[in-house]
Amino acid sequence: MNKVLAIDMGATSIRGILGYVENGDLKIEEVMRLSHEIIEKDDRRYWQWDKMIDTIVDTINQQTDLTSVACDTWGVDFGILNSDGELIDTPVSYRDSLHTSGFNKVKEQIDLFELYQLTGNQIMSINSLFQYMALKMHDIEKYEEIDTILMTPDLINYLLTGNKYSEMTIASTSQMFDLKNRCWRIDLLDKLNLKSDVFAPIINNGEYVGSTKDTLLPNLTNKDLKVYSIASHDTASAVSVTRAFFDPDCLFLSSGTWSLIGGLTDEPVLSEEAFASDLTNETGFQGQNMFFKNITGLYLFEKLRDELAVRDGKRMTHKEADGMTVEAKPFSYFMNIAEYDLDNLSVIDSIREYIAKTNQTQPQTTGELLRGIYESLVFGYMKTVKDIERISGHNFKRVQIIGGGSKIGFLNQMIADGLNKEVVAGPDEASAIGNIVGQLLALGEWDSIEDAYNAVAKSFEYRTFTPQNPDLWQERYAVIESLLT
């Protein structure tokens, strides 16, 4: 029996999950969960890198009878290595505010629609290209020392095996990748006067990277494991085990810290309409193109909960917050979340400022504050789906919700009503399951991704939500639509 370990890394926590097939069912077991934070040092924002790597090493060492290990992570972030193969600096978080200066510098040198046509990515200041430019602008000594840039999961694979590769799904989040030809955009980097010879060769997902017998991590004692690339961008990994991967009438919604909502297309969509709608293209599992939008997600709800704890001197449990949200008056306010960098601002103050600016009525209760965040997310989903359907010329019938948000039944019903589509919710650990499936496919456990999907579908619980009050949501959408531009 092949037993594999998925290291599934999110922007607020990482998990270690074992996976294997028993009597035709996919079994998973969580063996590690670590919360992590962004650390501010010298006016920069860094990941708790050593803490994460030490935990990954400990987790691997504690397992027996493992066949392989693989890692998936959030997108856009990377590490920089010198000519000796050593990290020059702790990896910086995409939430570092200096990246905006990199974005502004790039914007002076290239038209943003041209950049979109070259890379297909939604233009966001967090993207790797702008991080790279900011690094050159603000720390030229470290920039000059760079010999290799590796995206986060590729960096972990390098530490595990000593081999440097760039897996294509994570590379496709960088704004430096050619989605059609699946190679680095050397022409773009040269035009921007950025080093273009520092990127590792592109490999497909499902490829063998190396063995832990060649690890660079001295404390790793479990040294006979295969390491696979899988779909190492967590979104690509998650989407690979959804119905959207096979059903052209199904959208996906990865609901977590970020919300990523969209569908699959045969080719990247690089039109001016798609650019104007802030839609992105990224490479998915087995080369499928994912056409979707990144929207701030449940991070905002949790940040609001944190602020309310400070204000009220008591932190609500999730159950208490959900209860207040359900009982609150609907549609008390709407906020266009995209207008604010709420990572660096107070959510409560920003809500009240936006409401005053748009002549709405201020929420009267904590429940109304909380519910308005959920409703604002759903209205953002509604606009995005309308944009995707208009640009693609295809109307979708259902959406599958994956990630932590798939467990929030009240929110899932809102989404079914707002989109007026059937919602299938689950699995919540989709990224880790996709990671496990990628490894087991590489090891020959199934003959095809279809066989793997069928095993996943019968192994985990799903909930279905059908529209109950779509007209109310459409009426409210018509009122606030002008604010969604």
Q: Look at residues 227, 228, 202 and name the one whose alpha carbon lies nearest to residue 287.
A: 202
167 near 153, Cβ under 8 Å? yes
Q: Where are the beta strands (DSSP E) in 172-283?
A: 177-178, 183-184, 202-203, 208-211, 226-228, 250-255, 258-265, 280-283
329 near 372, Cβ under 8 Å? no
**Residue 344 burial (C-beta neighbours within 10 Å; 0-12, 13-18, 19+):** exposed
Q: Which fold has domain 242-426+446-485?
A: Nucleotidyltransferase; domain 5 (3.30.420)
21 near 86, Cβ under 8 Å? no
pLDDT attached to residue 302: 87
pLDDT attached to residue 342: 63
Residues 279-330 have pLDDT tens digits of 999 999 999 999 999 888 888 888 899 999 999 999 998 889 989 999 999 9
Residues 146-157 have pLDDT tens digits of 999 999 999 999
β pairing state of 177-178 and 183-184: antiparallel
β pairing state of 25-35 and 13-22: antiparallel
pLDDT-based confidence at 337, cuts 50/70/90? Answer: confident
Residues 64-81 have pLDDT tens digits of 999 999 999 999 999 999
pLDDT attached to residue 418: 98
User: At residue 343, does pLDDT exceed 80?
Assistant: no
DSSP state string for 147-173: SEEEEHHHHHHHHHHS---EEHHHHTT
Rounded-to-integer distance, Cα 421 and Cα 467, Å? 6
Q: Which tokens is 233 given?
A: 């961008």
Among the listed residues 96, 234, 322, 387, the single catalytic one is 234
Alpha helices in 292-396 (DSSP H): 298-312, 318-327, 347-357, 366-392
pLDDT-based confidence at 257, cuts 50/70/90? Answer: confident
pLDDT attached to residue 263: 97
- Return the amino acid letter for 122: Q
Supply the CATH classification number for the domain 4-233: 3.30.420.40
- Return the amino acid letter for 218: P
Across the chain, mean pLDDT equals: 95
Three-class secondary structure of residue 7 per DSSP:
strand
Q: What is the mean pLDDT of residues 390-394?
A: 95
User: At residue 338, does pLDDT exceed 90?
Assistant: no
**Residue 272 burial (C-beta neighbours within 10 Å; 0-12, 13-18, 19+):** exposed
Q: What is the mean pLDDT of residues 343-357?
A: 89
Rounded-to-integer distance, Cα 132 and Cα 149, Å? 10
User: At residue 357, does pLDDT exceed 90?
Assistant: yes
User: Residues of the chain with pLDDT > 70: what percent?
Assistant: 99
For the ranges 32-36, 158-162, 295-299, the lowest mean pLDDT is seen at 295-299
Question: Are 4-233 and 242-426+446-485 equal in CATH topology?
Answer: yes
The domain spans of the chain are 4-233, 242-426+446-485
Three-class secondary structure of residue 121 per DSSP:
coil
The DSSP H or E segment spanning 14 is strand 13-22
Q: What is the mean pLDDT of residues 249-253?
A: 98
Task: Respond yes or no: is residue 234 known to be catalytic.
Answer: yes
pLDDT attached to residue 222: 82
pLDDT attached to residue 282: 98
Of residues 12 and 373, more confidently modeled = 373
